[in-house]
Amino acid sequence: GAMPGLLLGDEAPNFEADTTQGRIRFHDFLGDSWGILFSHPRDFTPVCTTELGRAAKLAAEFSKRNVKMIALSIDSVQDHLSWCKVQGWGTAGAAGPAALLQRPGLELLKFRAGSQTSTQPLTLCPCAQVFIFGPDKKLKLSILYPATTGRNFDEILRVVDSLQLTAYKKVATPVDWKPGDSVMVVPTLPDEEAKKLFPKGVFTKDLPSGKKYLRYTPQP
């Protein structure tokens, strides 16, 4: 994987790297935002090209959620810039990463694997990974895709919405949850406290066992 040994809850390595927006240090780049790091096998691959185009179109959605995007590939910054040029990204009226590179948003990153400035080396495999970091710089979610399967950006937005909601409220999101659906009250919260916390009401789903542990409330 792109971040060997990085588990959920671990802090992101504070690596330094050259990007198409100049040199960055990862923690400074994140600041108090959420962050998504996408790894790509390499530039000019058809699947990655469709993904970056989609990421660019969704830039406003990510920005509304206080999420910064950064993409990582094995190629040099020079290659990234030619890739953008070949795609016509950043030319008048064309949506694409280059349009975003001029403002905080999607950045294409070249990381020198094993450089001394990082706390651990990042190595790339022929696969695509998604890492989502919280403002505390800790890894909240990671998904690994084979290089032949493009990522689902609707799902990435959905998990960001769930991560942000559950980070700040004592709820969890059930299977196939979408923003606006009811959410589940976390099991550690006593009923009395749940009633105070969720004025819209708490309801339980009846189970054959008669147990009342599936507690739902409208999305707070």
Q: What positions carry a catalytic annotation?
A: 48
106-110 and 139-146 as β-strands: parallel, antiparallel, unpaired?
unpaired
What stretches of the chain show up as alpha helix (H) in DSSP? 26-30, 46-57, 59-64, 77-87, 97-101, 153-168, 191-197
Kindly state the tokens that stand for 16.
């330094």
Looking at the chain, the number of H-run helices and the number of E-run strands are 7, 11
Amino acid type, 45:
T
Which of 176, 146, 118, 109 shows the shortest CA–CA distance to 1? 146
Q: Which residues pair with 108 in a beta bridge?
A: 71
The count of other CB atoms within 10 Å of the CB of residue 168 is 9
Instruction: Name the β-bridge partners of 131.
Output: 37, 142
Determine which helix (DSSP H) or strand (DSSP E) holds 103, and give its type and residue range.
none
